[in-house]
Chain A
């Protein structure tokens, strides 16, 4: 049976339409495409946020199932922990006033302050190309692009995109993220960059421009921390542990590998550091 020309066209119509749509997308102005992308993200964000709230609710009810004895025990542990933190806060207060006194003596400019925005993690997006997470706060909480994101174990990453109610955080394991870091006990800045991470692999990073007199190994690792010199992260935040360094062929520096805390792949809550006086 012969197929008529109109019937053949009908069969090809979806492909033609697709071709036209793709061509139109490529021909569209960049601003239009950016706006469509942003709109799509904003539209889908409530879905992810709702899932996140549902997850929180699930956890809440799961916790409600614990016995009173367990709660009393947890409360007691918490009280102890709280007491030790209270003591640390007092000590920190004293140290801060001492630092302020010394800064005044040396006529040093004051260290810029941050305020904390705690936020729940809505979604994680891990691939070989990028390592990101979406958090449940955006421009509604004054979160700016580029703000450092931390947790109790150190640096999580930095804010890469800000939307109305959500933000995208580029993790320290993302190959596109770089930090001016220092090796524990050293003041010379080196470059940290997220590594080529596999989806379910342990998160890793690489370091470059490491001075030749820095040594570290898997058995004697060294802590890698933010230098504070780059202007994005405050100093002293843990990035990871240097487990391997080797001299580069040109003999100028060493390069190395950094093992990141696996918890950054499982975080449910993070803190965004927002500058008090953004320059």
Chain B
């Protein structure tokens, strides 16, 4: 055995100095480490926030839940539109992941064991497993409730793919007993739970339907209002006002949506309690000026007729009644309007709010405007008798009849002419006054423009014709016959019931216009607009005629006195009837009007009623419209005397 040499004793270092290859190798390693370090620094320091954001977007989901809408009340605080809780039994699919997995394995093993030729693909097996698990829960619910609900496999799959974090509804709109059964039978920690949402509820069904309006489905709140920008967002559907006050005050009524930010795993299943959560908040309430007792009285009185009625406070312009029939049951819109119900409303032509959008010839109610114009212009004095009514008169070559009382009124002064509504008197007065002056007076009363009430879609089709208008629109000359027609509120004169109610209120105050409002304020100041300018004797003459209309045995609204059921005891009513003949596609028909205010000595309430007569039937303001006004006035003064009639709401179909 050879003795070890001096150098062979050290195995650690056999060569002094550095091996250039080793140095190069170290350099390469150092360079690579530097690249790695730089890369790490770049990803961590520079792109760190971007990665963090991407991770957040991948791992977090945002669920937005709309807030319930605010309530709508009548002026006495009675609920007109509220929210009805809607109970559903739902399944939280995101809690079923282990069950889905177990079922998937069981189904797959079954296929393998039975040795069937075509084993479904993995996604098909998943689908079978999902449906099978959910069906088990559905069977459980069916057993509790005695129902026979089934699982829609397609809908379930869509829900799993797009809305996994939202509860999947198994049975909707539970009855109170069903709710109670589930509360007692479902374990507290079950993925099967009772879920509450809300839907609009209308205690008085179809009362004031057009005024209150309805809601439709809203796809959800605006994402940008919530934290978690850029996150995948699941929104539960809310509601949006589509008509009436619901539409006009949508931003006020709309609730404040709540949100939840959840952390999810790569498959989209919720893994932790919410990161952030805010409960939805109910929208603001609105107190309308409507009085539901008066509203119901008006609608009951209109009954099966087609027509509208408006009543308002004389001094404030607060609308107490805005009725339009035919109407519809607002509860049929909740939670959504069926095709059948929509078709029915369409067939009955019930969509239109006739009080706001129905344009009618005002007929003889316009004679108050004509009287005012004539008195102010000096064309007549209250005492003079400018005509001798023997049933007709010739205007140009055309024969104009007196439609009221078969004519033969003889010589009348203004009060009597208003009381009996003598057409011959007003043809004569109108011709003396001139169309331009009458039109100017009507415009002073704001009968040529929308009232500006807080409702969407008020018509602009109202019309106060004049010679200039006819020349411009029809390139025709204004004829004396046009003035005669205009003098009795016919021809091209077109107004809405709401306008005429405003006119009645304005006239009752001795002023020229009234801005109507549907919002109630406890201490709303009275309106003061430009005075009409009639002298006391002139105003007295018109008022005498209007009172005679309702109290004189010859008055056109004498039914308010002669028929016990229509009488409003102890109240002096100033009124004016009107019957306008119109030609419709279905034939000639009458439009029956009545405007009034009461009590005469200190007016508080003004009413306008317009009823469409069926073609071929003899309709009249006195016969057909005064009963409706009477119902409103009786309800109003009964309440004033403290013997209020209370309209009864219906109970919601749901829980509360």
* Chain A residues engaging chain B, CB cutoff 8 angstroms: 175-180, 188-189, 191, 193, 209, 211-212, 227, 229-233, 248-253
Contacts and interface: CB of A to CB of B under 8 A. Distances in A.
Contact of B655 (A176, A177, A179, A188): A188
Given A229-B176, A251-B83, A253-B196, A189 B183 contact: yes
B189 interface: yes
Given A249-B279, A253-B196, A229 B85 contact: no
A231 B281 contact: no
Contact of B179 (A180, A232, A253): A180
B266 interface: no
B282 A178 contact: no
Contacts of A252: 68, 83, 85, 196, 198, 282
Among B186, B194, B656, the most chain A Cβ lie within 10 Å of the Cβ of B656
Nearest 10 pairs of A and B residues by beta carbon: A230-B184, A251-B282, A180-B180, A229-B180, A189-B180, A249-B279, A211-B656, A180-B183, A230-B180, A191-B183
Interface string B55-87: 000000000000110000000000000010100
B587 interface: no
Contact of A176 (B68, B183, B189): B189
Contacts of A251: 68, 83, 255, 281-282
Contact of A230 (B181, B187, B189, B280): B181
B185 interface: yes
How would you classify the secondary structure of chain A's contact residues: helix, strand, loop or mixed?
Answer: loop
Interface string B265-294: 000000000000001111000000000000
A188 B85 CA distance: 12
A212 B285 CA distance: 15
Contacts of B181: 180, 229-231
Contacts of A253: 85, 196, 656
23 contacts: A176-B188, A178-B183, A178-B186, A178-B188, A180-B180, A189-B176, A189-B183, A209-B655, A229-B177, A230-B180, A230-B183, A230-B184, A231-B181, A232-B184, A233-B184, A248-B279, A249-B258, A249-B279, A250-B68, A250-B258, A250-B279, A250-B282, A251-B282
Interface residues of B, number: 27
A250 B280 contact: yes
Nearest to A193: B188
Given A176-B187, A211-B656, A232-B185, A250 B67 contact: yes
Interface in B166-193: 176-177, 179-181, 183-189
B300 to A, nearest CB: 27
Contacts of A193: 188
Given A179-B184, A211-B656, A253-B196, 9 more contacts: A176-B187, A180-B183, A189-B176, A193-B188, A209-B196, A230-B180, A230-B184, A250-B68, A252-B196
Among B83, B180, B185, B282, the most chain A Cβ lie within 10 Å of the Cβ of B180
Contacts of A188: 176, 655-656
A180 B189 CA distance: 17
A175 B282 CA distance: 29
A249 B281 CA distance: 5
Nearest to B188: A176
A188 B194 CA distance: 16
Nearest to A178: B183
A74 to B, nearest CB: 40
Among A175, A178, A233, A251, the most chain B Cβ lie within 10 Å of the Cβ of A251
A228 to B, nearest CB: 8
Contacts of B179: 180, 189, 209
Contacts of B68: 250-252
Interface in B141-185: 176-177, 179-181, 183-185
Contacts of B177: 189, 229
A183 to B, nearest CB: 12
B185 A231 contact: yes
Given A229-B177, A229-B180, A230-B181, A250 B281 contact: yes
Contacts of A178: 183-184, 186, 188
Nearest to A227: B180
Interface string B638-656: 0000000000000000011
A131 to B, nearest CB: 13
Contacts of B183: 178-180, 189, 191, 230
B184 A249 contact: no
A209 to B, nearest CB: 7
Contacts of B655: 188-189, 209, 211
Interface in B504-554: none
Contacts of A232: 184-185
Contacts of B656: 188, 211-212, 253
Contacts of A189: 176-177, 179-180, 183, 655
A177 B655 CA distance: 21
B214 to A, nearest CB: 20
Nearest to B280: A250
Nearest to A251: B282
A230 B198 contact: no
Contact of B184 (A175, A180, A248, A250): A180
A189 B656 CA distance: 9
A209 B655 CA distance: 9
Among A176, A179, A180, A212, the most chain B Cβ lie within 10 Å of the Cβ of A180
Nearest to B65: A250
A231 B183 CA distance: 10
A178 B258 CA distance: 27
Nearest to A179: B184
Nearest to A211: B656
A230 B174 CA distance: 13
A227 B186 CA distance: 16
Among A191, A229, A252, the most chain B Cβ lie within 10 Å of the Cβ of A252
A253 B282 CA distance: 11
B198 A231 contact: no
A231 to B, nearest CB: 5
A175 B279 contact: no
Interface in B231-271: 255, 258
Nearest to A212: B656
B557 to A, nearest CB: 44
A193 B85 CA distance: 20
Contacts of A231: 180-181, 184-185
Contacts of A250: 67-68, 198, 255, 258, 279-282
A232 B181 CA distance: 8
A66 B506 CA distance: 92
Among B184, B185, B194, B280, the most chain A Cβ lie within 10 Å of the Cβ of B184
A230 B185 CA distance: 7
